Amino acid sequence: MAGAVNIMVRRRITALFLIMGCISFLLTFRLVWIQFIRSEYYQEEALKQRMREVQVEPKRGIIFDRNKKELAVSASADSVFAVPAEIKNAHKTAEALAEVVDMEVVYLETLLSKKQSFVWIKRKIDDKNSQKIRSLDLDGIGLTEESKRFYPNGTLAAQILGFAGIDSQGLDGLELYYDQYLRGAPGWIVAERDATGRKIPQGEQKYLPPKNGNDVILTIDEVIQYITERELSKAMQETQAKSGTAIVMDPKTGGILALANYPTYDPNHFGKYPQTSWRNASISNSYEPGSTFKTITAAAALEEGKTTINDHFFCSGSIKVGPDRIKCSHTEGHGSQSFADIVKNSCNPGFVTVGQRLGKDVFGKYIKAFGFGEKTGIDLPGEAKGIVRPPEQLRPIDVATNSIGQGIAVTPIQLAVAVSAVANNGKLMQPHLLKEVRSPDEKVIKKVTPTIVRQVISQETAKTLCETLAGVVTKNGTGRNAVIEGYKIAGKTGTAQKPGPHGGYAPGKYVGSFVGFVPADDPRLTVLVSIDEPKGAYYGGTVAAPVVREIMRDSLQYLGIPPSEPIDNDKGQNNTGESSQYLEESLNRTIHVPPLTDLSIVEARQMAKLLGLKVQIMGEGSKVVNQIPKANVRVVPDTTIILYLGDEQKNMAQGNTDQKGKMEVPDVTGKTIRDVAEIISYESMDINIHGSGIAVRQKPHAGEKVNQGTLVEVWFEPPSVHE
């Protein structure tokens, strides 16, 4: 019995030793496996657990105009972060930090107490607050340099450029459309830390530099953009309109030289503006074009041989289409007139007759060929197609109304491109804003060449129509207010009622527009201006044509395009009261505004004086940081150049804005209405004009600090009264 028990015990002991041996073998094998065979792998894994990564943001590429003038840049700005494990007293740290970063203590304490190795406190603060945080020298609180997007010209080209977000990501406009080129690739700072998140002395550290974004060069011309926005803003003040749009493009290349909308906004502070002001109405808003669309009707009829320039039409003041009657703006009728006359007079019955000759199918073919009802493909987000009904759905009355620009909705960019096709020998060009993309080391990554979409009409038809449209911009045409002495301009006015919310048309609501090109025999510029819901006068020839005239005049002078026609006193007189003598002097005695930025005030004064220009100083500082008008704009002698001063730290600042975003009201006393409107609109303020003549009083007073958009009231008196 005892022997049996001993055998059983020995067997159990043997089994236990075997089990222990197996376990020891497995443990030894595992140890060898970890320590020798997979040692490198586990060392890497351990290192990963100790490493903490902080992303380093790349600088977005610069956006330039076509002359390499900066429109959007990236400046360095410090961002505040926390390493909670290194903070000994979260409450005291939060109290010390709260006022500087403008955050609640309770919220800050919550952030600082998080069980994370890294927490953002506030991104991209200004230099003043950055210095304060450094002086506090708080444990666990650090600063890292990031890139902040800045738009040195403020509101200039805002709806083209768009804006970038806190992470330097494109959110709107070209910033969004070309984000893939502009944003670059992030880098990393990698540091070795212990389990509590503290840096390990002599621990491993790595820095992977970011790859900065590429630079984008546009077709936009900063000076022409400034001229366009200036004139559009003046028109808004004068007409008290709801909104407005202006486009300037090169008809031969499709390149957009300027594109402006009103109201606008400052992309540096886009969050302070309503989102409606971000909207690029020139590509996203559809409207009934009215008589400007008659250009397309005329082109189709001439190309199809349905009419000739010398064909005669009779206008009795209206025309009957089925049960409906379409009236002419000249209620007594134009009587017998040639086709050239119906274009010059913008005669509705004449164009309805032309539309009927074309028929819905042929007319519909040309509407589509000119690009209506589809996107132009311009390189901006949010483009609309407009509204064009297919030919099979058109009734006789629809063909009639379409022929005079009603019952069809187009975008401003569509119309500008279509009219440019007439100016460009019938070739429809692809509109574009991008000229080229360059890497930080100046290598060309992408280059845009002019693209012909299609030949819409023949060269012969285009030239005939150009001559016909030139007859509109004469002292007897509807576009007489667009006349510029010495230049032959072709164009078309348009006045359209706005559709009502429940069908039909809204009473008293109109869109006045004008589209034209210059010189008519060798077009260099196409300009479209649309004024939405002007108060008082609303005809396109009254509210839009003068704006086109001013944009064309200053742009032609800036580009150095000389007059091609002799001065004719009778032909050149327009309703502004400017005499031919004054216009001739303006053309022959103009001065290119010199670049005065980055000069000392003494140097700037001397240069301006040598050229016969006056100077007005705004702000304080040691250097000129901005000027109006911009460099290279042509002006007459004795023009006042406004110089904005700043110091070395404020070269990125615009105008006379303080750190709280306040604007200093400029002194406008002694100036004309035109000069006052220019100065006030540039400062992003609104103006209310009382009287006429010379400014004698203003409210708020000069030098007061106000917010952007503040209404400045200015009282004017005739010079004799003022003196």
The predicted pLDDT at position 570 comes to 44
Going through 519-560 in order, the beta strands assigned E by DSSP cover: 525-532
Q: Which pair of tokens denotes residue 508?
A: 């008293």
Say which residue, 657 or 317, is predicted with more confidence: 317
Q: Per CATH, which fold does 222-588 belong to?
A: Beta-lactamase (3.40.710)
Q: Which pair of tokens denotes residue 584?
A: 């001739």
Q: Which residues pair with 646 in a beta bridge?
A: 623
Domain ranges, ordered by start, for the chain: 2-37, 53-217, 222-588, 591-722
Say which residue, 321 or 30, is predicted with more confidence: 321
pLDDT tens, 12-70?
788 888 888 888 888 887 777 777 776 777 666 665 555 566 667 788 999 999 999 99
pLDDT band at residue 606 using 50, 70 and 90 as cut-offs: confident
The verdict on domain 591-722 having CATH code 3.30.10.20 is yes
Average pLDDT over residues 231-242: 91
Q: Which residues pair with 623 in a beta bridge?
A: 600, 646
The predicted pLDDT at position 209 comes to 80
The predicted pLDDT at position 383 comes to 94
Say which residue, 117 or 430, is predicted with more confidence: 430
pLDDT band at residue 548 using 50, 70 and 90 as cut-offs: very high
pLDDT at residue 196 greater than cutoff 60: no
pLDDT at residue 202 greater than cutoff 70: no
pLDDT band at residue 711 using 50, 70 and 90 as cut-offs: confident
The CATH superfamily holding the domain 53-217 is Penicillin-binding protein 2a (Domain 2) (3.90.1310.10)
The predicted pLDDT at position 439 comes to 93
Sheet with 686-690: strands ordered across: 686-690, 711-717, 694-699
Selected catalytic residue, list 291, 403, 555, 681: 291
pLDDT band at residue 304 using 50, 70 and 90 as cut-offs: very high
pLDDT band at residue 661 using 50, 70 and 90 as cut-offs: low
Cα–Cα distance for residue pair 428/552, rounded to 1 Å: 22
**Beta-carbon contacts of residue 526 (< 8 Å; ≥ 6 apart):** 247, 248, 249, 250, 251, 416, 419, 420, 423, 515, 516, 517
Report the chain's mean pLDDT, rounded to a whole number.
Answer: 83
The predicted pLDDT at position 684 comes to 59
pLDDT at residue 163 greater than cutoff 80: yes
The predicted pLDDT at position 643 comes to 81
Among the listed residues 287, 230, 225, the one whose alpha carbon sits nearest the alpha carbon of residue 256: 225
pLDDT band at residue 192 using 50, 70 and 90 as cut-offs: low
Between strands 640-646 and 686-690, the pairing is unpaired
- The residue whose two tokens read 């669309």 is 293
pLDDT band at residue 3 using 50, 70 and 90 as cut-offs: low
Inter-axis angle of helices 90-101 and 105-112, nearest 10:
130
Whether 291 is catalytic is yes
pLDDT at residue 104 greater than cutoff 90: no
3-state secondary structure of 555: helix
Q: Rounded to 10 degrees, what is the CA torsion of 419, 424, 428, 434?
A: -100
In percent, the amount of the chain with pLDDT more than 70 equals 84
Average pLDDT over residues 631-655: 61
Say which residue, 97 or 263, is predicted with more confidence: 263
Average pLDDT over residues 76-91: 81
Q: What's this model's pTM, rounded to 2 decimal places?
A: 0.71
